[in-house]
Amino acid sequence: SVQLNIPESTVCDIVKKYKETGSTESKQRPGRPKTLKKCNTRALKRIIRTDQFSPLGDVTDKFNTSLDTTFHYNTVRRYLH
C-alpha cells in the first residue's frame, strides 16, 4: 500500500472482497436501468456525426428505423445533451 500510495484499509478491503467473491467487480447498484444501452448510444452518435445539423425529429426517426425500436424524441434529446 505504501508503494501504491493507497491506504492499507483499501488494500485489505479489496483482498477480502476477492477472497469472498473471487472477483473485485462492484455489485450492481439499485436504481432504474438505462433506457439506451452502450451499443444504442454508439449508433446514435454515428447518426449525429453524419449530419450534425439535422432536426431532432429526423435524428429520432433515423435512430428508430436503424434499430427497429421506438424511442421517444425526449429520450434521444436527453442523451444528446
Whether residue 47 contacts residue 59, with contact meaning beta carbons closer than 8 Å, is answered with yes
pLDDT at 74: 94
pLDDT (mean) for 66-76: 89
Query: Which one is predicted more confidently, 72 or 26?
Result: 72
Percentage with pLDDT > 70 across the chain: 100
- Residue 68: what pLDDT? 79
Q: How far is CA 40 from the centre of its chain?
A: 10
Q: Does pLDDT of 76 surpass 80?
A: yes
Question: From CA 72, how far away is CA 32, in angstroms rounded?
Answer: 17
The rounded distance, in Å, linking the Cα atoms of 6 and 61 is 49
| Per-residue model confidence (pLDDT) at position 51 | 86
The closest alpha carbon to 79, from 47, 6, 3, belongs to 47
The helix/strand/coil state of 76 is: helix
